[in-house]
Each structure stands twice: as structure tokens, then as C-alpha cells.
Structure 1
Amino acid sequence: MNESVVRALSGIVYIALLIGATLYSPISFIVLFGIFMLIAIAEFCKLVNLAYIMPLILGATCFALFTFVIPYNSQSANFTLSLGATFIDLLLLEDLFSKRPSAKKNTTVKFAQLLGYVIFPFLLIIRFALRPAQIAEEQIENFYLPQLIIGAFIIIWTNDTFAYIVGKSIGKRKLFERISPKKTIEGFIGGMVFAIVAVLILGKYYEFPNMIICIISAVILVVFGTLGDLVESKFKRNAGVKDSGNIMPGHGGILDRLDSIIFAIPFLFLYYQIISYVS
């Protein structure tokens, strides 16, 4: 079969699965992203040369604890997850922009990156859409906001699509050539503009109460989503591989598809936590 056809079919299946599971019920949403998280853990372990048994156990334990035990409205748990992930992401950005050669990471550093870069963000994605005090079949439907997750993905997909189109059409100045030679400043700006347009359209459909907050959310997703793509590109470059995995023909692995959202979600979640705290 033609490679372009395989890539298109694979992408359609992925989008249909993600949107379908997210819209169907909170349980299907939780299960899907729990599976995504475990696959991403295995892919990350392969990239950094880390034995995957203990990381998978750690991921499953954190998933069970933060999904079924700790209340979703626990401020201490939410700040721990978001601040922990943000701290690791900032360290990854420092390493990304540093011109010195990357130092060889020991096992402790790899586990810290696993928690902050992979596990915590997936837990935050789930907690971003769910706000009940406890998981309860009779309660959970009243607190589930799938439009937040769908909206975030639409913004990221819009940014990726138009950053590529604008960059390929008029892009001349490289954004970060050392890590991703195809990304351009013009593409980044184009992606940002169309992402904001997407927010304005979504705002009309979902009737979001505060469009300023939504536009700032889009900016956070675009900026940190782009940085997340660069961070994952550096992980792959250091590992000497093109893709993080091969679960999606033509698209690579789960990390390849979700690198933007998992890097941006801690900053977005923290932003909403701050807004909630000061309002």
C-alpha cells in the first residue's frame, strides 16, 4: 500500500480513537490515556536506554493513585504534579538551549525525567478534564469536561498544520536549526495566528465564558507545544532514531504524536490553578 495512504489511514484511526474515547465517557477517556501513558513510558525508556519494567510499575502505580485514590480537586496533589512536571520541563529546556554537549544521564536523572516529562503530564491531562472529589459512577459525568481536552488537541493540531503550511510556503528563517532544521519562525507565527483563530471559533461553539483566558491558553499550548516537539526531537537525536516507536504506521510512536500536549499541559494546568486560586 502507498506510504501516504498508510499514513493517512493511521492518522484517521488515531484521531477517531482519541476523539471517540474522549467524547464517549470519562471512563473510556481515562482508560485510553492510561494506555497511552504506558506505551509512552516504554518508548521513553527505549530512547534513554532505561530498563522498562520498573518504570512501567511506577507509571501504573502513579496512575492508580492519582486517578482512583487522590481526589481530583486536591490542590496539593495538583500543584505537586504541575510543579514537578514544570520543573523537569524547565531543566529539559535549559539542556535544549545549552550549547555544551549533553552530559550522560545517570539512572536517577532518567527516572526524574520519566516522572516529570512523561508520567505526570499524562496524569495532568486526565485531571484537567475531571474535577470530582472522588471517582464515582454516579458523580463523574457531572464533572467531566471533554471539550477542554478536545479543544486543546484542536489547537495543537491547527498549530502543527498551519506551521507546516506557512513554513513550507514562505518560511526562510530557521527557528532552531540545530535540533529541527525544518521549523521556521514564519511557520511558528503562522501556526500561532491560526491557533488563535481556532480558539475564537471554538469559543463560539462551546460558549466559553472568558475568551481572554482561552486565547492565553492557546498561546501557552503553541509556545510550549513547539518547545515540547523540539525537546522530543533532541531525545530522538541523542538516541539516533527517527521515531520514538512504530505503533502508528507513518507517524511513529505515541510520544511522537503527543510530545506537544504532554510538554505544554503542566504549564497550562498551572496557569488554570493560579487563576482558580486568585479568583
Structure 2
Amino acid sequence: MKTRAVTGSIFVLVMLASLLTGTYVFVGFYMFLSLVCLIEFFTLVKTTGLRPHSTIGYVAAIILFFSIAGRFLFQFETKWLLINIPLFFGIFIKELYRKSKLPFNNIAYTFLGLIYAVVPFVFYVSSAFISGIYNLHIALGFFLMLWGNDTGAYLFGVKFGKTRLFERHSPKKSWEGFIGGVFTSMLVGYILSIYFTDYAFYHWMIMAFIISCFGTLGDLVESMFKRSIEIKDSGKILPGHGGLLDRFDGLLLSAPIIFVYLYLITY
């Protein structure tokens, strides 16, 4: 428990530092996190005997992230994303020369790794630049509401949890915990609306609700993935907490939905 608490405290401090030390650190840090998550994903898939095209996946991830981030930081044109097209077709060509019984499984998991472990971080970073400049309030508010949801779900679940939410994938999660997470996340959203007036009160409430719902679903999806390959943690990079996929499972589904919501109300 002590190791978990120390790791958690350091993790939160590093996360906050990445948000507060400027746009270059912010973008670079989350590109690094997305790559580590992709490495974890491919490593887990390889334990099943499959062989995703990890090297091509890493190069494609860097190009994807740098092309989008470069548009915000250096006004790059997103045409550099087109480099990924020959890379993607190269995955199929490379698989032709492998002697694999399940070639399309290898191909599919390569693409899934990019969609599942990298694209959500691209959407999160893009959300922070939705207005054209870096918005600390969105970047910070997202994680505060997500952490509020996780904390509330845990505390309410331990105290009142009786009705299983999705026992097949996560036996410990309860409806009571889910409701507690929504309540806590929206409470955080209310506090944010007082100090961060970029968006109206009701927008913060809607974002808090979205983060609670899709953050919980992201947790369940990651649990489903780990159960499908019979492992407990996605990695060991965070002592007492597991891997980065374990820590960012709530972001993986909620960040794209938050981006869509912000885009629709901004433009």
C-alpha cells in the first residue's frame, strides 16, 4: 500500500508538471506516453503468440502524433500524415513474407494498437488546442474530472457497492460506485466552472458526465482486453499500479468523445 501511495503521488506530480511547464513539454510528454502505451500493447499481444508489426507501428505513431502536434506548435501542414499511407500498406506487404498461420491477426493488432493506444492521446492533446492556442484549463480540467471519477467510484464502491456493474469483465465494479464516480466528477466540474470560465457551467457538467461514462467504459474495455489474454496488469512501469495502459484506461475512450463535444460547441 505504501509503494502504491508513493508511486501515485509521484505520478500525479509528474502529470501536473507536464501540464504547467509549457506547450512543448506538454506535447512531448504525451507523445512519449502514447508510445509507451503502444509498446505495452504490442508486448501484451506478443504473449499470445501473435506478431504485430511493432516497428512500423512505432514509426506510424510518431508521424501521426508529430503531424497533428506540429500543426499546433509550428503551423505544419497535416499533409505529412500522408506518409503513413505507404507505411500502412507496407504492413500487408511485410506480412506476405512472414510464415504465419494467422497473418491478418498480426495486421489487425498492429492497426488496433495505433487506434487504441495512440489516437486517444492525439485527441486529448488536440482538445487542449481546440481554440487554436494551448488551453491549460481543458488539459488540467480533463484529468481532474477523470481522477474525481476514479476516486468517487472507488470510495462509493467500497462503502455502498452491492450491485455488480459488469461482473464478467470487472467483478469489483458496482453501479453504486459508478454513480458515486459521476457525482464526484460533476462536483469537480462544478468547482472548475467557478474558476475556469472559458466554458459555461453546463458545458463543464456535460464534460464531467461524458468523462465518467466513457472513462468507466474505457476501464471495462481494458479489463476485457487483459482477461482475453489472461494477464493482470498491462506492465510494471508503475510499482503498485501496473502499466501505463492501466493508469490511462479512462482516457482511451473519453478523450476522443470530449474532443468531439468541444469541437461541436466551439465551431
Same fold (TM over 0.5): yes
Q: 1:131 to 1:178 in 2, by over 3 A?
A: closer
Question: What's the offset of the Cα at 1:162?
Answer: 1.2
Contact kept in structure 2, 1:163 and 1:188, CA below 8 Å = yes
- Residue 131 of structure 1 deviates from its aligned partner by 4.5
Long gaps (5+) in structure 2: 47-51, 80-102
Q: Aligned equivalents of 2:150 and 2:104: distance in 1?
A: 30
Partner residue, 1:108: 107
Match of 1:194 in 2: 184
1:123 partner letter: V
Match of residue 20 from structure 2 = 23
> How far apart, in 2, do the equivalents of 1:65 and 1:183 lie?
38
Aligned equivalents of 2:65 and 2:217: distance in 1?
A: 25
Which amino acid letter does the alignment assign opposite residue 255 of structure 2?
I
Aligned-residue offset at 1:226? 0.2
The answer to whether the Cα contact below 8 Å between 2:146 and 2:250 also exists between their aligned partners in 1 is: yes
Indicate whether 1:126 and 2:140 are aligned. no
In 1, the alpha carbon distance for the partners of 2:146 and 2:17 equals 18
In the alignment, the residues of structure 2 paired with residue 72 and residue 115 of structure 1 have an alpha-carbon distance, to the nearest angstrom, of 24
Q: 2:69 aligns with which of 67, 70, 93?
A: 67
Letter in 1 for 2:34: M
When residues 208 and 70 of structure 1 are mapped into structure 2, their CA distance, relative to the original with a 3 A threshold, is: closer
**Structure 2 counterpart of 1:175, from 159, 165, 177:** 165
Identity %: 34
Q: Aligned residue for 1:6?
A: 3
Show the counterpart of 1:224: 214
Cα 1:70/1:202, change in 2 over 3 Å: closer
Deviations along 1:221-278, one digit per CA (max 9) or x if unpaired, are 000000000001111111211111111111111111111012111111111222233x
- Return the alpha-carbon distance in structure 1 between the equivalents of residues 69 and 266 of structure 2: 21
Question: 1:207 offset after TM fit, Å?
Answer: 2.7
Q: TM-score, normalised by structure 1?
A: 0.79
> Could you tell me whether the CA contact under 8 Å between 1:73 and 1:132 is conserved in 2?
no
2:229 to 234, 239, 252: 239
Q: 1:132 to 1:196 in 2, by over 3 A?
A: closer
Deviation of 1:48 after TM superposition, in Å, equals 2.3
Q: Provide the rounded CA distance (Å) in 2 between the counterparts of 1:222 and 1:209.
A: 19
Counterpart secondary structure, 1:247: coil
Distance 1:69 1:165 in 2: 41
TM-fit CA distance, 1:132: 7.2
After TM superposition, give the deviation of residue 51 of structure 1 in Å: 4.5
Q: In structure 1, list runs of 5 or more residues that go unmatched.
A: 78-103, 134-142
Structure with greater contact order relative to length (CA < 8 Å, sep ≥ 6): 1
C-alpha distance in structure 2 between counterparts of 1:166 and 1:130, whole Å: 34
How far has the Cα of 1:21 moved from its partner?
1.4
Q: Deviations for 1:72-123, whole angstroms, at most 9, x for unmatched residues?
A: 999x99xxxxxxxxxxxxxxxxxxxxxxxxxx97123213322321221111
Q: CA 1:236 to 1:21, structure 2 compared with 1: closer, same or farther past 3 Å?
A: same
RMSD between aligned residues: 2.3
Shift of 1:70: 7.5
Partner of 2:42: 45
* 2:147 counterpart residue number: 157
Residue range with higher mean Cα deviation, 44-53 or 64-73: 64-73
> What is the one-letter code of the residue matched to 1:124?
F
Q: Per the alignment, do residues 160 and 72 of structure 1 end up closer, same or farther by CA in structure 2, a change over 3 Å counting?
A: farther
Distance between the aligned counterparts of 1:6 and 1:194, measured in 2?
26
CA change 1:31–1:265 in 2 (3 A) is same
TM-score (norm 2): 0.83
**How many Å apart are 1:127 and its aligned residue?**
1.2
